[in-house]
Amino acid sequence: MSEIPPSRTATAEAPVPGVAPEVVTTSLEPTATSQGPVAPQPGATPSVASQASESAAAPTPAPTSLATVPNDDVEPQNPLTEKFIPAEWTALKEFRSKLPETFSEAFPDKPDAGTTPYNMWGVRIDPVNPKDARVSVVLMKFLRARNLNPAEAKEMLISTLRWRQSFNVEGAMEEKFPDEVFGKLGKVYGKDKQGRPVTYNLYGANKDLDAVFGDVQRFLRWRVAFMEESIVLLDFETVDQLVQIHDYEGVSMSSRTENSKNAASEASSIFQSHYPEFLSRKFFVNVPSFLTWIFWLFKPFLSAATLAKMSVVGSGHRALGSALLPIIDRHELPKQYGGVAEGF
């Protein structure tokens, strides 16, 4: 039930053991606007009166304050945007200038789509007035997922906007899912040392696979809703990524049903295509030895950036703590993973 297929960028999720992989501102210098007193003609001796008159006629202008000069290049900043490099700002400005047509193409049935703000992940994106630090953080996710190519980022954003509408993401978040089926499968608990929320996917928590995967579309609505609820915890000012822990305790070979493989594949496609750059680190823990081969099988298809975010961990407090405690403080990490928190 992992959601990480091979992909060309670090946006992909990793393959899931036991199931088919879910495949500058610029400154203005003030310029002089007045001429000095007229120089006397040869042979002429200027009088005191004439000097006073000339001085009064050509007063020296007051210095211009740079702070009052309008500057269209000034960008609203927050701790995340302050980390953008020049190449990212260049790509962002081009990408942002295309937002009206991007929204129009995404929603062709809405005549005013190119001028209507859209709310996504708690951030209001106004295509007409998009200069906002949090908007910049969201747009940068699409750019980074497409190697800072504004044209490709535009296509990805259009696809995501269309998908969110057709999938009815808002409806999925409001849907009531049976707690006895999904209540134990996903947990959000604690933060890492950088303040990122930590989410837990507990694949062996419900042994009734027919209940979980009998309705693949229901499972996908639950999985998207769980992702959206996790993203709500991000402020897009200091934190814009998650840490994921995928726990395979209790998973057996029988977990690979046809429905579970289909669900894993569809979920992988959704997260790869429509949730770019939300992953900070991903840990696969308590992985049975007979499943670890799947990671090696798909390793050649994963980018170096994606692999750098992934770790396959064994079981037991020592192994789990050794892998997780450098990232998550022990007071934020549940006891079953090597920490001291009560957990869930």
Confidence class of residue 39 from pLDDT cuts 50, 70 and 90? very low
Question: Which has the higher per-residue pLDDT, 120 or 298?
Answer: 120
| Neighbour count for residue 317 (Cβ, 10 Å) | 12
Which pLDDT value is given to residue 110? 97
- Residue 73: its pLDDT value, please? 79
Q: What is the mean pLDDT of residues 161-190?
A: 97
Instruction: Name which of 22-31, 148-157, 204-213, 299-308 the model is least confident about.
Output: 22-31
Per residue in 102-149, pLDDT tens?
999 999 999 999 999 999 999 999 999 999 999 999 999 999 999 999
Give the pLDDT score at 307: 78
Which domains are present in the chain? 81-167 (no CATH), 177-337 (3.40.525.10)
Q: How far apart are CA 14 and CA 10, in angstroms?
A: 10
Q: What is the pTM of this model?
A: 0.78
Among 136, 143, 137, 115, which Cα is nearest to 127's?
Answer: 115
Say yes or no to pLDDT of 49 above 50: no
Looking at the predicted structure, is the pLDDT value of residue 207 above 70? Answer: yes
Q: Which of 3-7, 61-65, 287-291, 335-339 is predicted with the least confidence, judged by mean pLDDT? A: 3-7
* Angle between the N-to-C axes of helices 150-167 and 86-97, in degrees from 0 to 180, rounded to the nearest 10: 60
- Helix, strand, coil proportions of the chain in percent (round to 5)? 45, 10, 45
How confident is the model at residue 256, as a pLDDT?
74
Tens digit of each residue's pLDDT (9 = 90 or more) over 236-255 = 999 999 999 999 898 877 77
> Minimal CA–CA distance to 153: which of 80, 72, 93, 74?
93
At 55 the pLDDT is 42
What pLDDT score does 72 carry? Answer: 62
The Cα 156–Cα 276 span in angstroms is 9
> Position 250: which residue type?
G
What's the pLDDT at 297? 64
The confidence score (pLDDT) of residue 166 equals: 97
